Every structure is written in C-alpha cells, then in structure tokens.
C-alpha cells in the first residue's frame, strides 16, 4: 500500500490522458502527493480514487466547477447532503431542458429531410425553407 505511481501509470490505471490529469491539476481538482527530485509527479491510491470520482462525475455531464464542489463536499463527512442533491438536481434540470430542445430539433430536421425529393438546389425545399 501507499505505492507511488507516475502520471503515466495513473493515466493507464484510470483510462485518462496524462495531459488531462495535468489539466485537472491546473483546475485545482487533483494534485500529486509529491514529486521526485527530477520533478516527476507521484500519486497514490487516494489520488487514483479521486480521479475515478472525477471521471464518474464528468460522465454525468457535470462541469469541472461542479465536480470541484462535489469533491469539496465529499471530503467533509459533516457537510449537508442537501448541497450534493442540489448539484445533481440542477444538472438533471439542465439535461431535461436540453432534451426538450434536441427533441424539437429532431422533429425539425426530420421534417426537412422528408420534404426534399428534388434533384437540384433550384427546387430544393430545404434551401427554400431556410431562405423562406
């Protein structure tokens, strides 16, 4: 336990790119425990778990800012769960709103696609529809 791994090993272990890990560091999400004399970043299981947490949260579509908040809350056992809830809830609302937009878009594109049987742009209903 407490084994130290380099950024490349951490990257492989979590299926992340090393550049992305460095980027998360610059964004204040994940720091190496220490460095070698030559400046190589070193990580432990703790950071690996943290990175997995980050990836799962990102997979939910959360912004890095939200992920940062979640990490802060996760670090404090006494933090009110309500704040976690509200981050998730707001994301759910964003996703639902985006879904509505996309469904509307799908209908429009589908209608457009259906309506054109022409050969040339001169008779193209799609172009016509965009030009009105």
Applying CB under 8 A, the residues found at the interface with a copy of itself are 49, 52-53, 56-57, 60-61, 70, 73-74, 76-81, 84-85, 88-89, 91-92, 95-96, 98-99, 102-103, 105-106, 108-110, 112-113, 116, 118-124, 126-127, 129-132
For DNA, give the closer residue by CB, 59 or 82. 59
The reply on whether position 37 binds DNA by CB under 7 A is: yes
Q: Which helix or strand (DSSP H or E) is residue 5 part of?
A: strand 5-6
Instruction: Report the nearest approach of DNA to the CB of residue 39 (Å).
Output: 4
Instruction: Evaluate whether 5 touches 13 at the Cβ level (below 8 Å).
Output: yes
Instruction: Tell me the Cα Rg of the chain.
Output: 23
Instruction: Evaluate whether 43 touches 5 at the Cβ level (below 8 Å).
Output: yes
Q: Which of 65, 90, 110, 123 binds DNA (CB under 7 A)?
A: 65
The reply on whether position 39 binds DNA by CB under 7 A is: yes
Phi, psi of 97 (to 5 degrees): -65, -40
How far is the C-alpha of 95 from the C-alpha of 132, rounded, in Å?
Answer: 32
Q: Which of 22, 48, 53, 126 binds DNA (CB under 7 A)?
A: 22
């Amino acid at each position: 336990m407490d084994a130290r791994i380099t950024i490349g090993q951490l990257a492989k272990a979590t299926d992340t790119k090393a550049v992305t890990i460095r980027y998360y560091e610059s964004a204040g999400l994940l720091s190496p425990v220490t460095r070698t004399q030559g400046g190589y970043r070193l990580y432990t299981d703790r950071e690996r778990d943290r990175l997995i947490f980050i990836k799962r949260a990102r997979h939910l579509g959360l912004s890095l800012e939200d992920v940062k908040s979640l990490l802060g809350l996760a670090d404090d056992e006494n933090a009110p769960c309500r704040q976690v809830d509200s981050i998730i809830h707001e994301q759910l609302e964003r996703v639902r709103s985006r879904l509505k937009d996309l469904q509307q878009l799908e209908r429009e594109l589908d209608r457009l696609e259906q309506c054109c049987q022409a050969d040339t742009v001169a008779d193209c209903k799609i172009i016509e529809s965009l030009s009105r």
